[in-house]
Structure 1
Amino acid sequence: MASSAAAALSVLSCISAFLLSGLVFGWQPIQLLLMREGVYEDLCDEGVMGCPAQLRKLSEIFTLASFLVSLIALPAGLFLDRFGPRPTVALSGVLIIGGLVLFGISDSQLDMFSLGYALMGVGGVLTQFAAFPVSFLIPAYQSLILAGINCCFDASCLVFQVFLSLHEWTGLPRRVMFLSYSVIAFAILAPIIVLWTLVDRAKSSSTSGGKLKVEDELNGYVALGDTEAVLLAYDVQHEMQQLHSAKDEEDLSGMTLYQQFCSSAFWTILVYTCLGMLRTSLYIACVGIVLNTYGDAAGGYVYINLFGVLLPLGVFLAPVIGWTVDSIGCLNTLQLTNALSVLNYGLSLVPSLQVQAANFIVFTTYRAFLYAMTATFNAKTFGLATMGRVMGVCNCVSAFTILIQPYFISMIFSTFNGQIFVPFMTIVMAGVALALVNEAYRWHVRSKRRGLRAASPGDNPVSLVAPSHMGVDESALHPPHDEMLGYLGRFTCKRTSSGFDEVPWHDGAMSIERRLSVTSPMAHSVRARGRGSEDYTSDVAVRSDGETAMSTAANTVVM
């Protein structure tokens, strides 16, 4: 049941991302629809459509929404990490449906266009963020699911183009389309909430009898009687894979948020996200300048229209992105993505419209990879518990770097007389510098791995001790000792005034950690959040499920 719910959630989350997450970025067709309906035409002289005053008033709608989309990323991440995906989906539904209704019933007299559009934008961010945890339900397809969600977000700007086409072909009023779409939004999001409820129930049932399988853990905690606690488990097989991996990846999910923010991985992806989003925004803003320079206006703007058609087609690259990440790893895929951007800006300097048409494909591929890879890197490196906050910080900071865009465009005309060579070469060189940053991070990961290998006596240094060596009665343990890989120790979750405590391991567990010769933060602490009046004490052991213990069950914890 849980696996079926997870598969259904994956599909529905991609659908919700496609239909709801990036609606506000389809602004151009909606602006044209509003102008044809005569919204704000009273600001123009009689018989004039599209005067500066009307266009300025309309642009304020999109400006407010796009600003809030960037600003809300961090609060959205905090909300997701604190309350989980189900409440996040519910809140996104309230905002999106409310925004659709307000935008549909608005007119020049009942002016709630800005409020309605802003609500759609904020709700879209929450919809996208709430979809990311689905990837942790099916780890084997995590890269594909994350790529699909981000590519669907990228393509969601097509929805309002469909609205404009329906209006032109059938005369369907804006009010009818938006109110009808609010019903569709409810029909999409309601099943997602139900499925998350089923998954949560399956997770709760898996913890009955005091047993927890780490792969079933979603939100970082598991209920045990009147106390809520979870062990940050030591996964032997995972650590061995990390130690001998050729993909130059780190798993920092056991670190605190502050430790993650201080890590090289966080600063690498922060710089990558900021420069990546800036390059994306700049190219979209400058593509018209590039094409006009090469004579697109004389041909009736065929190429700028072609660009608008190709841009959303990145949604079809999701399987390619997922396969690439799984094949060569996150860091190598980040380098490939950066190389695509360098190629994109380099080809923009070739004075040929035919070359620019091919360059549109390069940019569409780069944009799809960028959105997918920032989310995938964060998920694989920092884990579910802090993914929302890490992504929120990256997106918020990158939003401020985009403020450079107006000055960049102004510089093209004021300083370089409309010539793009120097500004675009500057972006190319920034891409080369980013590649060096990525390689510096690779060197850091490899240096850390070499240090761990030097401390290991062999390829498989695991030598777990028996419970009796720690002075523990084996007959009192559950399951029996012959089903265990080894005893990790005893911990006590102490209730505090804040209801949360970070409890160090006892000596037994530290002995195990030294025998494993790995310094993973996951082997150092237990998190507990008490709701009862008593402290909670438990023995902890790593189970064995027979011959496959090391490969499949090393991360099963008994409390």
Structure 2
Amino acid sequence: MRSRMSLMRNLAQVTIAVIYCLLGAGVVFGYAAIKPVLIREGVYRWYCTPDEVEKNVRVCYEQEVRLNFMFTVAAVSTNVVALPVGTVLDRYGPRMCGIFGSLFLAAGSLFFAFAWSLAKVGVDGYIPGYFFLALGGPFIFISSFHLSNTFPQRSGLILALMTGAFDTSSAIFLFYRLAYQATDGAFWPKKFFLVYLIVPAFIFVVQILLMPAASYKTVGELVTQAEDEAAVTLSHSSDDELSEDDREHLRVARRVRRESVISEITSLLGSKGGQKQVRREAKKAHISGVWGVLHGQSAGEQIRTTWFVLITLFTVVQMTRINYFVATIRPQYEYLLGSYAAAVKVNAFFDVALPLGGVISIPFIGAILDRNSTARVLGLLVTIATAIGILGMIPHMWAAYANICLFVVYRPLYYTAVSDYAAKVFGFATFGKVYGLVICLAGLFNFLQSALDALTHRVFDGNPIPVNLMLLLAALIVGIALVWFVSSKSKSLAKEREAEEDEQEALLSEGGVSSVDWGGFEIRRGRRGSGHAGPATYGATSPGRG
């Protein structure tokens, strides 16, 4: 078992990662909270026409569009960068990822702190500032996922804490806005962002002093490593060139390495707890109905399938709807409710509900994903998204509050369900590339928000209903197609797997398979010379949620 010192170090790493994810992973999604501050400070006010200034409009058209574009750039960047983050993580490790993230957060804070001064000389510091704040988030958030491997029996809880911290980090700007209002604007953005530099400095320091340079391995990866060590321990072609003493020393060294890996597996899982964990994961894999459908295929092959095309289209539409709503909630409800004061109340409720909803929904999301098939989960997503779309077009206060309550629960469920789908369908071998590409493409399409803004203000005179209706219909069509496809494939896969299980049972009964059990992970090998020889398979493994 692990030493007390190692245990405490791992616990400290997880705790600190949750803290800095809470402070910096998703701050840009608190845009709805900081937007009123930026408007009051006159950001982009100089783009208003003389007529708009004379009429003293609260927010002119160009000001609204540019502020929303700032958020659009951030939202797109957060998603697009998911692809290169995986590459950096694989090549340089989580520590370097965290350091990059801290530097990006620092750059964003400095740009924003001095944006008011830069504006006087004709330089826009707001968009690059928000861009770098957005860029830093994925680097510190995604690079923290591997810490769930420090306590495999609690990996779900650790990932839930990370996700909850990410969702709750949007409240940072809410707290700032409250401080800004309490000081009547004295605590203006420059002061806040200079103080906020403490966060990237903290992240940088803990990466150097505490966080691991290399990612912690999953049990499955350790088992594979142990397998390789076992294979080279038995024989090696180059050993014949060595003396008997050298061969013996080499065999001992290999055996020590193998035993070290096995010891690590045992210390992570424990015998009873590990076997229970494996059984739970196997049950979840069976319930999903689609687990393993494209495992073993290359990323290129997976990308050319209907599985990829439909989930990408679904993600593009839903992510556009989510980010468009976050960016435009106040003007939408100002038009629908016919009252600026009512829109402010709705906006204030949303600012509190968004981070709170993410935290509250964590245990329910886990239960939904673990106890329902993937097709049923996708059906639930489509149903809730449709309800949100309908409520978003009803011009009543009760509908606004109901819409927000559904939205703040739907958002984390949607993000988790998409990553869960990717892990189960495509597998972890290609997860970074395929899931990263899905999110990257969805992020690029988020530039449509600027076009939707222009359409709402210039064509529909500020009425959000036509654009919301178009998004609702697009989401419904793509969603129904995805649910139908996954449901029909799940049924055919179930029949195929039943036939395969019958065949495997017949082969096992012939005595052609031996097994070794390491911490609950059973490794089956075909006997040499038998007709069933082939690569090792893991008796009960399934991916967790990404």
Normalising by structure 2, we get a TM-score of 0.70
* Secondary structure at the counterpart of residue 511 of structure 1: coil
Q: 1:250 to 1:210 in 2, by over 3 A?
A: closer
- Looking at structure 2, the residues matched to 98 and 249 of structure 1 have their Cα atoms a distance apart, in angstroms, of 43
Letter in 2 for 1:26: G
Q: 1:445 to 1:100 in 2, by over 3 A?
A: same
Letter in 1 for 2:377: T
* Secondary structure at the counterpart of residue 117 of structure 2: coil
Deviation at 1:20, TM superposition (A): 0.8
The answer to whether the Cα contact below 8 Å between 2:21 and 2:141 also exists between their aligned partners in 1 is yes
Deviation at 1:149, TM superposition (A): 3.3
Pick aligned residue for 1:122 from 135, 140, 145: 135
Which residue in 1 is equivalent to 2:287? 246
Query: Which stretches in structure 1 are left out of the alignment for 5+ residues?
Result: 215-223, 491-506, 514-522, 524-540, 544-549, 555-559
Deviation at 1:246, TM superposition (A): 3.2
User: Is it true that 1:163 corresponds to 2:206 in the alignment?
Assistant: no
**Within 5 Å, which residues of 2 pair with 1:485-504?**
487-488=525-526
Letter in 1 for 2:417: M
Pick aligned residue for 1:326 from 360, 364, 370: 370
Q: 1:319 to 1:487 in 2, by over 3 A?
A: closer
**Within 5 Å, which residues of 2 pair with 1:58-457?**
62=71, 64-105=73-114, 107-109=116-118, 112-135=125-148, 138=151, 141-169=154-182, 171-172=186-187, 174-188=189-203, 190-191=205-206, 196-197=211-212, 211=226, 241=282, 245-251=286-292, 252-284=294-326, 287=329, 288-290=331-333, 292-297=335-340, 299=342, 301-316=344-359, 317-408=361-452, 424-433=468-477, 434-457=479-502
- Looking at structure 2, the residues matched to 432 and 542 of structure 1 have their Cα atoms a distance apart, in angstroms, of 40
Q: 1:43 to 1:307 in 2, by over 3 A?
A: closer
Identify the range of structure 1 (383-392 vs 168-177) with the bigger mean alpha-carbon deviation: 168-177
Identify the range of structure 1 (47-56 vs 334-343) with the bigger mean alpha-carbon deviation: 47-56
The answer to whether the Cα contact below 8 Å between 2:32 and 2:351 also exists between their aligned partners in 1 is no
- Looking at structure 2, the residues matched to 108 and 446 of structure 1 have their Cα atoms a distance apart, in angstroms, of 62
Q: 1:249 to 1:40 in 2, by over 3 A?
A: closer
- Looking at structure 1, the residues matched to 523 and 77 of structure 2 have their Cα atoms a distance apart, in angstroms, of 51
- Tell me the alpha carbon deviations over residues 30-63 of structure 1, each in whole angstroms, 9 at most, x when there is no partner: 5555666677888899999988687787677555
- Tell me the alpha carbon deviations over residues 66-119 of structure 1, each in whole angstroms, 9 at most, x when there is no partner: 443344232223323444433322221222233324433554158655444322
The answer to whether the Cα contact below 8 Å between 2:108 and 2:128 also exists between their aligned partners in 1 is yes
The answer to whether the Cα contact below 8 Å between 2:389 and 2:468 also exists between their aligned partners in 1 is yes
Structure with the higher fraction of residues in helix conformation: 2
Q: 1:261 to 1:16 in 2, by over 3 A?
A: farther
Letter in 1 for 2:113: G
Deviation at 1:420, TM superposition (A): 6.0
Query: How large is the RMSD of aligned CA atoms in angstroms?
Result: 4.9
The answer to whether the Cα contact below 8 Å between 1:136 and 1:142 also exists between their aligned partners in 2 is yes
Which residue in 2 is equivalent to 1:15? 19
Letter in 1 for 2:226: K
- Looking at structure 1, the residues matched to 110 and 493 of structure 2 have their Cα atoms a distance apart, in angstroms, of 54
The answer to whether the Cα contact below 8 Å between 1:348 and 1:359 also exists between their aligned partners in 2 is yes
Q: 1:511 to 1:421 in 2, by over 3 A?
A: same
The answer to whether the Cα contact below 8 Å between 2:25 and 2:136 also exists between their aligned partners in 1 is yes
* Secondary structure at the counterpart of residue 288 of structure 2: coil
The answer to whether the Cα contact below 8 Å between 1:464 and 1:485 also exists between their aligned partners in 2 is no
- Looking at structure 1, the residues matched to 59 and 286 of structure 2 have their Cα atoms a distance apart, in angstroms, of 61
Normalising by structure 1, we get a TM-score of 0.68
Q: 1:209 to 1:389 in 2, by over 3 A?
A: closer
- Looking at structure 1, the residues matched to 133 and 38 of structure 2 have their Cα atoms a distance apart, in angstroms, of 17
Which residue in 1 is equivalent to 2:532? 511
- Looking at structure 1, the residues matched to 82 and 117 of structure 2 have their Cα atoms a distance apart, in angstroms, of 31
Deviation at 1:344, TM superposition (A): 1.0
Q: 1:8 to 1:324 in 2, by over 3 A?
A: farther
- Looking at structure 2, the residues matched to 334 and 340 of structure 1 have their Cα atoms a distance apart, in angstroms, of 10
Q: 1:132 to 1:380 in 2, by over 3 A?
A: farther
Deviation at 1:268, TM superposition (A): 3.5
Identify the range of structure 1 (245-254 vs 167-176) with the bigger mean alpha-carbon deviation: 167-176
The answer to whether the Cα contact below 8 Å between 1:77 and 1:388 also exists between their aligned partners in 2 is yes
- Looking at structure 2, the residues matched to 124 and 394 of structure 1 have their Cα atoms a distance apart, in angstroms, of 18
Which residue in 2 is equivalent to 1:24? 28
Q: 1:136 to 1:58 in 2, by over 3 A?
A: same
Which residue in 2 is equivalent to 1:221? none
- Looking at structure 1, the residues matched to 80 and 132 of structure 2 have their Cα atoms a distance apart, in angstroms, of 13
Q: 1:415 to 1:68 in 2, by over 3 A?
A: closer
Q: 1:426 to 1:72 in 2, by over 3 A?
A: same
The answer to whether the Cα contact below 8 Å between 1:35 and 1:49 also exists between their aligned partners in 2 is no
The answer to whether the Cα contact below 8 Å between 1:14 and 1:148 also exists between their aligned partners in 2 is yes
Which residue in 1 is equivalent to 2:240? none
- Looking at structure 2, the residues matched to 145 and 291 of structure 1 have their Cα atoms a distance apart, in angstroms, of 40
Query: Which stretches in structure 2 are left out of the alignment for 5+ residues?
Result: 230-252, 262-274
Deviation at 1:136, TM superposition (A): 5.2
Deviation at 1:197, TM superposition (A): 2.0
- Looking at structure 1, the residues matched to 224 and 391 of structure 2 have their Cα atoms a distance apart, in angstroms, of 62
Letter in 2 for 1:511: H
The answer to whether the Cα contact below 8 Å between 2:70 and 2:126 also exists between their aligned partners in 1 is yes
Structure with the higher fraction of residues in strand conformation: 1
- Looking at structure 1, the residues matched to 155 and 101 of structure 2 have their Cα atoms a distance apart, in angstroms, of 23
- Looking at structure 1, the residues matched to 44 and 471 of structure 2 have their Cα atoms a distance apart, in angstroms, of 39
The answer to whether the Cα contact below 8 Å between 1:23 and 1:156 also exists between their aligned partners in 2 is yes
Q: 1:282 to 1:31 in 2, by over 3 A?
A: closer
Identify the range of structure 1 (162-171 vs 12-21) with the bigger mean alpha-carbon deviation: 162-171
What is the aligned residue count? 478
